[in-house]
Amino acid sequence: MTEVVTKEELDEAFAMFYGMAASIKDLVSEPVEVSDEERVAAAKRVFLKGIDANLATQLEACVHCGACAQACQFYLGTEDPKYTPIHKLDLMKRVYDREMSPLSWIKKHVLKDITADDLRAQQELVYDACTMCGRCNMVCPAGINIADLVALNRSALSAARLMPDELRYMQEAQAEDGTIFGADEDLFMFRVQDLQDKLGFEIPVDKPKAEVLLLTSGLDIHLFRDATGGAIETLHHMGIDYTLRTDAYEGANFGLLAGHEPTKKMLTEKLTKVAIEIGAKIVIVPECGHSFPAMRWGAAESVGHSVPFTAMTVSEYFGKAVMEGRLKLEKSKEKRVVALHDPCKVGRGGGVFEEPRAILEAIGWELHETESNRAYNFCCGGGAGNFLIERADKLKRAGYRIKMAEIEKTEAQSLVVSCGSCRMNFEVGKVKAGDTLPVESLAAIIAAHLPKKEKAEGEAA
């Protein structure tokens, strides 16, 4: 692999980026004043529109057994019962019971209506204390999909204009200029140029037609250039007909994370339209966990019909290529012992488990699995945009500790991840906890193990 960013450059960029993230709270606009009645009405509208027979069945199935607490990093890390996953749905259940359920005619008289203060209190539960990781879904004897229902709670709070400031800032900024952290077109092109200089080949941008549309993210443009650089280098190596696009490069979707439905739809729709226009068969989303569900499950919904492409995440696309023999990787000289973090939105939320493992096997690294792995993996502690919420710091650290304890038990020399925000959260967690375990991008690892060019061209033909 060509080194696209040195350790010093990365540290420097990280410090700058961390400062930028920390200043978000000071930059956020004044919240729009809305009456309490309007907040309650808006939240209820979202709940009532979002609940269908499937969700109602799930809401009606809970036996209050408390098992879900035993799966949630935030309960396990704090032992505070208020972080019991099912409690995060109580408010929504009350709206359902009073206004929608078959027993609403009784429940209306028994249960208190929700108030704006209830919604304010709910903010901590469904943003700070839930990364929508879905681990609780895996233990519940009733199979209740708490993570997806928390997402509906975020949408309701967003409609009630009660998003946490940091996520509101990110959502508003992205609604305005389509990208995050100010990674506008100029900066995007600067980064492309920078990568091009380092990689030594031309990176296709704005090709009118291409088989593969590669997305990146503001986080990678600023910080994790090795991730985007690794994906580009590997696509080039494989001889794939791909392009980056100035009108569709940002894979992150803070509409989705904040629960802001109009922004979520607008961003996904924009990418989807470009992908269709250029005739892409595959859209590769960057190493950014939530950009996968945004495109994989959201693209068709955003345009209202099925789409002619498949959205894949970096680890999935290249992992499949390895599994199918289309991409050969060189064995590493060093037999390194590594642990792997399955990002929740890609693993438990997308079924991408074997692909990253196939890559590690191909390069001959020894994977030591964490006790909870694949569909049972613990979240990094800061997913779903939580890594930006300042006041959630204690909770994030609690989640991080649980995750890191499992990783440490594996005695791995480094941790492999394929999600920028997980990586970010691990890096911040390490600094705060004084940990030193190296955290590496899977895309960068792939690029570092590409065979010599001559051999590769023969294979790609």
Partner 1 sequence: MSLLDFARGPALQWAGIIFVLGMVWRTLGIFMLMRSSPLSANRDNHLFEHGVRTVWSRFVPAPVFEKKVSFQYVAGWIWHLGFLVVLLFYKVHVMFFEGLLGFGWPALPNSIVLAIAGVTLGVLLWLLGRRIFNPVLRYISTFNDYSSVIITTLPILTGLLTFTHFGIAYETLLAIHMLSIALLLVWFPFSKLFHVITLLPSRYVLGVKFWRRGVQA
As to burial, measured by CB atoms within 10 angstroms (0-12 exposed, 13-18 middle, 19+ buried), residue 306 is: exposed
Options 301, 330, 393, 459; binder of partner 1; rule CB under 8 A: 301
C-alpha 419, offset from chain centre: 7
Task: Report whether 437 contacts 107 (CB < 8 A).
Answer: no
d(CA 263, CA 283): 20
The alpha carbon torsion through 422, 314, 259, 304 (nearest 10 deg) reads -170
Q: Which does 131 bind (CB under 5 to 8 A by kind): partner 1, ligand SF4, none?
A: ligand SF4
C-alpha 409, offset from chain centre: 25
d(CA 398, CA 361): 32
- Interface pattern 134-163 for partner 1 (x via CB under 8 A): ---xxxxxxxxx--x---------------
Q: Which does 53 bind (CB under 5 to 8 A by kind): ligand SF4, partner 1, none?
A: partner 1
Question: To the nearest whole angstrom, how small is the minimum distance from the Cβ of residue 264 to partner 1?
Answer: 14
Q: Would you tell me how many other CB atoms lie within 10 Å of the CB of residue 310?
A: 15
Q: How far apart are the first and last CA of the chain?
A: 21
Q: Which stretch binds ligand SF4 (CB under 6 A): 137-145, 185-193, 297-305, 452-460?
A: 137-145
Q: Which of 201, 235, 231, 234 is nearest to 216 (CA)?
A: 231
Q: Does 412 bind ligand SF4 (CB under 6 A)?
A: no
In the numeric block, the tokens 């519940």 are attached to 140
Q: Which does 23 bind (CB under 5 to 8 A by kind): partner 1, ligand SF4, none?
A: none
d(CA 75, CA 451): 46
Residue count, binding to partner 1 (CB under 8 A): 61
Q: Which is nearer to partner 1, 372 or 414 (CB)?
A: 372
Dihedrals phi, psi of 115, to nearest 5 degrees? -125, 170
Give SS3 for 454: helix
Q: Does 100 bind ligand SF4 (CB under 6 A)?
A: no
Options 5, 40, 95, 144; binder of ligand SF4; rule CB under 6 A: 144
Q: Which is nearer to ligand SF4, 134 or 293 (CB)?
A: 134
- Interface pattern 83-102 for partner 1 (x via CB under 8 A): -x-xx------------xxx
Looking at residues 50 to 79 of the shown chain, list those that interact with partner 1 (rule: CB under 8 A): 51-54, 56-58, 60-67, 69-71, 75, 79
- Interface pattern 319-358 for partner 1 (x via CB under 8 A): ----------------------------xxxxxx------
Options 372, 390, 413, 414; binder of partner 1; rule CB under 8 A: 372
Task: Name every residue whose Cβ is closer than 8 Å to that of residue 449 and which is 6 or more positions away in sequence.
Answer: 1, 329, 330, 331, 332, 362, 363
Q: Which does 194 bind (CB under 5 to 8 A by kind): partner 1, ligand SF4, none?
A: none
Q: Does 276 bind partner 1 (CB under 8 A)?
A: no
In the numeric block, the tokens 């010599």 are attached to 452
Q: Does 131 bind ligand SF4 (CB under 6 A)?
A: yes
Q: Does 92 bind ligand SF4 (CB under 6 A)?
A: no
d(CA 239, CA 220): 23
Q: Which is nearer to ligand SF4, 126 or 307 (CB)?
A: 126
Q: Which does 87 bind (CB under 5 to 8 A by kind): ligand SF4, partner 1, none?
A: partner 1
C-alpha 140, offset from chain centre: 23
Task: Report whether 451 contacts 233 (CB < 8 A).
Answer: no
Q: Does 151 bind ligand SF4 (CB under 6 A)?
A: no
Question: To the nearest whole angstrom, how small is the minimum distance from the Cβ of residue 47 to partner 1?
Answer: 13
CA-CA-CA-CA torsion sign (11, 403, 79, 256): positive
Q: Does 125 bind ligand SF4 (CB under 6 A)?
A: no
d(CA 275, CA 269): 10
Looking at residues 45 to 74 of the shown chain, list those that interact with ligand SF4 (rule: CB under 6 A): 62-68, 71-74
Options 40, 132, 210, 380; binder of ligand SF4; rule CB under 6 A: 132
- The identity of residue 410, as a single letter, is T
Q: Which does 414 bind (CB under 5 to 8 A by kind): ligand SF4, partner 1, none?
A: none
Task: Report whether 146 contacts 89 (CB < 8 A).
Answer: yes
Question: To the nearest whole angstrom, how small is the minimum distance from the Cβ of residue 347 to partner 1?
Answer: 8
Q: Does 109 bind partner 1 (CB under 8 A)?
A: no
Q: Which of 378, 404, 381, 425 is nearest to 130 (CA)?
A: 381
Q: Which is nearer to partner 1, 43 or 89 (CB)?
A: 89
As to burial, measured by CB atoms within 10 angstroms (0-12 exposed, 13-18 middle, 19+ buried), residue 335 is: exposed
Task: Report whether 408 contacts 385 (CB < 8 A).
Answer: no
Binding footprint of partner 1 on the chain (CB under 8 A): 51-54, 56-58, 60-67, 69-71, 75, 79, 81-82, 84, 86-87, 100-103, 106, 137-145, 148, 296-301, 304-307, 310, 347-352, 371-372, 375-376
Binding footprint of ligand SF4 on the chain (CB under 6 A): 62-68, 71-74, 85-86, 88, 130-136, 140-142, 144, 146-147, 150, 379
